[in-house]
Amino acid sequence: MRMTDTGDLWWKTAVVYCLDVETFMDWNDDGVGDLAGLAQRMDYLAELGVTCLWLMPFYPTPDRDDGYDITDFYGVDPRLGHHGDLVEIIRTARDRGMRVIADLVVNHTSDRHPWFKSARSSVDSPYRDFYVWRDEPPEKQAETVFPGEESSVWELDEKSGQYYLHRFYRHQPDLNVENPRVRDEIDKVMGFWLELGIDGFRVDAVPFLLEPSAGTLAGESYGDPHDYLRSLRSFLGRRTGDGILLGEVNLPREEQLQYFGGEAADELTMQFDFVGMQKFYLSLARSDARPFAEALTARPEIALQSQWANFLRNHDELTLDKLSESERAEVFEAFAPDEHMRVFDRGIVRRLPTMLEGDPRRVRMAYSLLFSTPGTPVLFYGEEIGMGENLAIPGRQSVRSPMQWTSGKNGGFSRAAKSRLTAPVVDDGFSPDHVNVAAQRHEPDSLLQFMRLLIRTYRNSVEIGWGNFAVLPQPNDAVLAHSVTGAQGRMIALHNFGQEPAIVPVSVPDADASTRLIDLLESGEVPLSDAGSADIPLPAYGYRWLRVADESTKRLY
């Protein structure tokens, strides 16, 4: 992947932090997190180093799918607050150098949305064709997104006698995005939130959004579905010059290229690297860096304005669908040995620290790699303190337990009775008694302090977002050594996936007598031989970031 620094494309070097308002901080003690509580924690996020806040759905909802079943795209769920509270969050974020993006969930609505209530009331409803209807389901159906929970993507509406399409849950009827009126409505939704100060959107399940539905069924053609994605990007550009579309596109890399828009970079601004994430866990399971290294080198070249979003965990199941069946079995055996730790035959419902049995060496190595991998890092709330999951919460919701602020009642999330909490707090070895923000803020060697160091160093190393990436050859399969070189300089990162110490040979071919390798995560430097090489020791699960500097280097390290 080749890139050259230019312009002020803020997403290239952002630190994205995803949170669910409902589980972050409860300020009125009703058991549900709210915008007022988030406002009280904005300084915490600024201190952490967050530059882009990603808010999971805050819209009115029956909450049968954690807010992704929406009844009003223009509203704020009254349990969380109101529009004034949200505007205050946006203003506060801007004052602290943070941008705010929101989930754009327009594949479907809740079945309680006024559009659908009208649509199912009569075949003559003006909203009938906002959804996709058939007299009979087709013989060959698409697979449901949630195997084991839904057996079909078509559901009979008894009143009208027709079936409606739902690729997700049956209580989430699909919108007919090929309908021009629906597209106009989506533009209005985007425009509304952009006017309130939102800086862009994380676009949910993009391939399903572009999947042909009603037009195909009716024998009509609406042309290339990517034209619609280009129109959304164009609309965003007209309304705000530097807004982003961060897309959830879990497809093979070659297909992902289409969603970037190729050299024109006129579709999604950023995409999550699902392939890289899954190969990372395969490398962890094998103590072998090669699968992850191969995934990074296999990234296709993308345009300057585009970017990969790197992550180790998100709010859904940790999907392993891009691994082979045997590879998936390896990762399951290593990190989800019990059936209740898995979901949909493809994913894991645990957080990283519990998968690694709380081993601080492996946890820190993993996050060091996240922040040194070319692209933009994305954190899920609680990762910075090493939160675990609550397996008492069914399915993929287990990672969405309340944020752990203190060791006090309900982890400092809420003073409400435990029975009123929106979700139960973790109560095992990763409970607030053992893992919380307050304790780690005052502990110099805590994970929170380490994450602050990583974020600060990442933000001072802009070549990670902009530079040219290369894997450096290594004799030890457990070690990943890579370099990133840009206009601002060059860094080398070393990571040991193995449980044995390693000696890592590093060569700087263009070195001269003044060239040094300066440690970025701690004090010190590595001397080079006259040939510009060094043998660098790494402990088990060790990591180092090294700045290549010489007499012409004027930056602070």
Q: Is 136 a catalytic residue?
A: no
Q: Give how far the C-alpha of residue 258 lies from the chain's centroid of Cα atoms, to the nearest Å.
A: 20
For residue 231, which phi and psi values (nearest 5 degrees)? -70, -35
- Check 26, 103, 204, 463 and give the catalytic one: 204
Name residues whose C-beta falls within 8 Å of residue 421's C-beta, 6 or more positions apart in sequence: 31, 402, 410, 413, 414
End-to-end CA distance of the chain: 25
Write the DSSP string, 143-196: PPSSBTTBS-SEEEETTTTEEEE-SS-TTSPBB-TTSHHHHHHHHHHHHHHHHT
- Crossing angle for the helix pair 274-286 and 290-297, nearest 10 degrees? 160
Neighbours of 218 (CB within 10 A): 11
Tokens of 181: 């009126």
Determine the Cα–Cα distance for residues 483 and 471; give it in Å rounded to an integer. 6
Q: How distant, in Å, are the alpha carbons of 118, 119, 121 from that of 124?
A: 10, 8, 9
Q: Is 433 a catalytic residue?
A: no
- Check 111, 248, 266, 267 and give the catalytic one: 248
Residue with tokens 């990442």: 458
Query: Could you give the 3-state DSSP secondary structure of residue 267?
Result: coil
Determine the Cα–Cα distance for residues 277 and 61; give it in Å rounded to an integer. 31
Write the DSSP string, 410-440: GGGS-SS-GGGSSSPPP-STTSTTTS-HHHH
- Are 68 and 204 in contact by the 8 Å Cβ rule? The answer is yes
Determine the Cα–Cα distance for residues 519 and 374; give it in Å rounded to an integer. 19
Name residues whose C-beta falls within 8 Å of residue 269's C-beta, 6 or more positions apart in sequence: 11, 200, 233, 244, 245, 246, 305, 306, 307
Determine the Cα–Cα distance for residues 132 and 350; give it in Å rounded to an integer. 35
For residue 348, which phi and psi values (nearest 5 degrees)? -115, 140
Per the DSSP assignment, residues forming a β-bridge with 103 are 202
Enumerate the active-site residues.
Answer: 204, 248
